[in-house]
Amino acid sequence: MIYKRSSALFSAAQKVIPGGVNSPVRAFKAVGGDPIFVKEAKGAYLYDEDGNRLIDYINSWGPMILGHAHPAVVDAVIDKAKKGTSFGMPTEIETQIAALAVSMVPNIDKIRFVNSGTEACMSAVRLARGYTGKDKIIKFAGCYHGHSDSFLIQAGSGAVTFGSPNSPGVTQGTAQDTLLARYNDIAQVESIINSNKDEIACIIIEPVAGNMGCIPPTKSFLKGLRALCDIHNILLVFDEVMTGFRLAKGGAQELLGVDADIVTFGKVIGGGLPVGAFAAREEIMNHLAPLGPVYQAGTLSGNPLAMAAGLAMLTELNENPNIFKSLADKTEYLHKGIAKALKSHDVTNTINRVGSMISVHFAKDAVVDFDTAANGNNDTFKKFFHGMLDNGIYIAPSAFETWFITDALTYEDLDETIAAVYKVAGDL
């Protein structure tokens, strides 16, 4: 494929934007080459600035669960835009989407909208600290909860891809309040809690990890966390930025049958516009200003265009609950096809999948935490990435990311993807 115009646009971008991108994960630094500039997208396909059509497995890193430019979402945004784009005053649609979200997700009575998953997680931790009166938090190596200071400690996603899991600029004082544990290792979490008695406000976790590639929790791990939180008066925060409204109507809480105290959202909840949210039981949420003392705010929070997109998206999902099963079926089909194709060429791999999230780890052993994810062969990943791209398939340009399946993908698209893996596997 030819990427002449993309490369020219990238050169121009680098002169005025650091690294030419507004979020590091978009750069191709981990795989080599220049990032591809998108012209437009529709359904399961991206169309780049050079006129190539690509089957999209990033889907804006998760939000486009119905495919790009879904008519219900686009129409809702256009309609709203004609009536004004921001007021900094309450609007009825905020209550409509809040009521719908609260009805779909277990264990939440109230929800507050913000502008990104980063803001949602940052605010959730402040709320947990304000509610419990404790300072420390536990996070897991390889989990990524956005780029706010408390979370850039052994962070996944772009932070690990670009070699700054502990970013400069995060003060020692902030870092010391974030305690680090291994994903899927309940004994280690228990020992950290015992060494920090009555100091831990919350445990924050991606209930299905998606920022070190996809890593499912073991059956007992999340239940073990719930039990420890109950015993030690710690709040369990599920970062459902990726899993929310994707794995089930009620997200990972519903799919995995474990209750969280605070849940954060991003991606799908905004239908592709900048939306995040955090939610909890009433007694916790009432600690937020203006009702309570924990301050959190935003001029563009609950923005009418963003709320219109989110409401249209959640309405579609709510009215078509079979969609989650259909997405999972497509993902399983893809999993089986890719596994067969890689096996046909004896390529070492481990494929992890939960619902409509899937990752191919080029690792020999089970991938259950950050260390086992990092054991994957990055050279193989690079070749795989570029081979797939040459065959019109766009996956994330890093081994530490998840593929997101969209409802717009047909079984023909999946077959085209699997056929590409057969072609590429011979060169891995």
| Shortest distance, position 118 Cβ to ligand HOZ, whole Å | 9
Query: Under the criterion CB under 6 A, does residue 239 sit at the interface with ligand HOZ?
Result: no
| Shortest distance, position 401 Cβ to ligand HOZ, whole Å | 5
CB-nearer residue toward ligand HOZ: 52 or 118:
118
Query: Under the criterion CB under 6 A, does residue 304 sit at the interface with ligand HOZ?
Result: no
Question: Please, which residues bridge with residue 68 across strands?
Answer: 43
Tell which positions 177-216 bind ligand HOZ, by CB under 6 A: 211
Query: Under the criterion CB under 6 A, does residue 377 sit at the interface with ligand HOZ?
Result: no
Query: Under the criterion CB under 6 A, does residue 118 sit at the interface with ligand HOZ?
Result: no
Among 57, 144, 183, 394, the one annotated catalytic: 144
CB-nearer residue toward ligand HOZ: 229 or 399:
399
Q: How far is CA 174 from the centre of its chain?
A: 24
Query: Under the criterion CB under 6 A, does residue 220 sit at the interface with ligand HOZ?
Result: no
Containing 379, the helix (H) or strand (E) segment is helix 378-390
Containing 193, the helix (H) or strand (E) segment is helix 186-195
| Shortest distance, position 25 Cβ to ligand HOZ, whole Å | 4
| Position among 52, 59, 132, 157 found at the interface with ligand HOZ (CB under 6 A) | 157
Measured CA to CA, the distance from residue 348 to residue 5 in angstroms comes to 36
Among 267, 369, 382, 394, the one annotated catalytic: 267
CB-nearer residue toward ligand HOZ: 21 or 192:
21
Q: Sign of the CA dihedral 283, 288, 292, 293?
A: positive
CB-nearer residue toward ligand HOZ: 240 or 401:
401
CB-nearer residue toward ligand HOZ: 216 or 224:
216
| Position among 56, 240, 401, 413 found at the interface with ligand HOZ (CB under 6 A) | 401
Look up 29 and say whether it is catalytic: no
352 three-class SS: strand
Binding mask 60-99 for ligand HOZ (x = CB under 6 A): -x--------------------------------------
| Shortest distance, position 416 Cβ to ligand HOZ, whole Å | 25
Among 239, 261, 369, 413, the one annotated catalytic: 239
Phi and psi for 274 in degrees, rounded to 5?
A: -70, 95
User: Could you count the other beta carbons within 10 Å of the beta carbon of residue 298?
Assistant: 16
Measured CA to CA, the distance from residue 240 to residue 148 in angstroms comes to 17
Query: Under the criterion CB under 6 A, does residue 161 sit at the interface with ligand HOZ?
Result: no
CB-nearer residue toward ligand HOZ: 264 or 391:
264
Which residues have CB under 8 Å from 231's CB, separation 6+?
Answer: none
CB-nearer residue toward ligand HOZ: 144 or 384:
144
Cβ-contact 272, 233 below 8 angstroms: no
Query: Under the criterion CB under 6 A, does residue 276 sit at the interface with ligand HOZ?
Result: no
| Position among 158, 207, 251, 276 found at the interface with ligand HOZ (CB under 6 A) | 158
Residue with tokens 């890719």: 338
CA of 346: how far to CAs of 361, 364, 425, in Å? 14, 11, 8
Cβ-contact 206, 139 below 8 angstroms: no
Query: Which structure tokens are listed for 308?
Result: 């219109």
Cβ-contact 200, 138 below 8 angstroms: yes
| Position among 25, 252, 263, 420 found at the interface with ligand HOZ (CB under 6 A) | 25
Query: Which structure tokens are listed for 30?
Result: 């981990």
Look up 267 and say whether it is catalytic: yes
Q: Sign of the CA dihedral 91, 95, 97, 98?
A: positive
Tell which positions 133-152 bind ligand HOZ, by CB under 6 A: 144
Look up 109 and say whether it is catalytic: no
Please identify the residue of the shown chain whose CB is closest to the bound ligand HOZ: 23
Which residues have CB under 8 Å from 296's CB, separation 6+?
Answer: 112, 114, 123, 126, 127, 288, 289
| Shortest distance, position 361 Cβ to ligand HOZ, whole Å | 15
Phi and psi for 94 in degrees, rounded to 5?
A: -60, -40
CA of 271: how far to CAs of 77, 159, 314, 330, in Å? 10, 25, 8, 21
Query: Under the criterion CB under 6 A, does residue 154 sit at the interface with ligand HOZ?
Result: no
Query: Under the criterion CB under 6 A, does residue 17 sit at the interface with ligand HOZ?
Result: no
* Alpha-helical runs (H) found in 278-303: 282-285
Q: How far is CA 316 from the centre of its chain?
A: 20
| Shortest distance, position 270 Cβ to ligand HOZ, whole Å | 13
Query: Under the criterion CB under 6 A, does residue 23 sit at the interface with ligand HOZ?
Result: yes
Query: Under the criterion CB under 6 A, does residue 264 sit at the interface with ligand HOZ?
Result: no
Measured CA to CA, the distance from residue 260 to residue 253 in angstroms comes to 7
Point out which residues bind ligand HOZ (CB under 6 A).
23, 25, 61, 144, 157-158, 211, 401
Residues identified as active-site: 144, 239, 267
